[in-house]
Amino acid sequence: PVMVSALRSRGLRAELRTDTAHTLPEPADPNGLVALSPAAPTVSRRGALALVGAGSLVLLATTAGQSIG
C-alpha cells in the first residue's frame, strides 16, 4: 500500500524525466521507511528502469531460445 500510494502521488512521466542532478529525497513519513540522511543518487530512475527492462529482455530471449531449440 505504501509503494502504490507513493507511485500514484506523482506522475510516471515526470518521474522518468527527472535526471540524477534533480532527484530529491522522499519526504519523511510516519512509518520510518525513508532514510534520515540519504546519500546522493547514483542511478537515475530512468537508468534503473532501463536496467530492469534490459534484464527482462535477456530473460525472454533465453527462455525463447530454450523453448524453440
Domain count, the chain: 1
Mean pLDDT across 7-18: 78
Is residue 6's pLDDT more than 80?
A: no
Calculate mean pLDDT across residues 14-25. 79
| pLDDT, mean over the chain | 83
Whether this prediction's pTM lies above 0.85 is answered by: no
Classify each residue of 3-22 as buried b or exposed e, where b means 16 or more C-beta atoms within 10 Å of its C-beta.
eeeeeeeeeeeeeeebeeee
pLDDT score recorded for residue 61: 95
Residue 38: give the domain boundaries: 2-68
Q: Which residue has the higher pLDDT, 54 or 21?
A: 54
Phi and psi for 54 in degrees, rounded to 5? Answer: -65, -40
Other Cβ atoms within 10 Å of 23 Cβ, number: 15
pLDDT of residue 47: 85
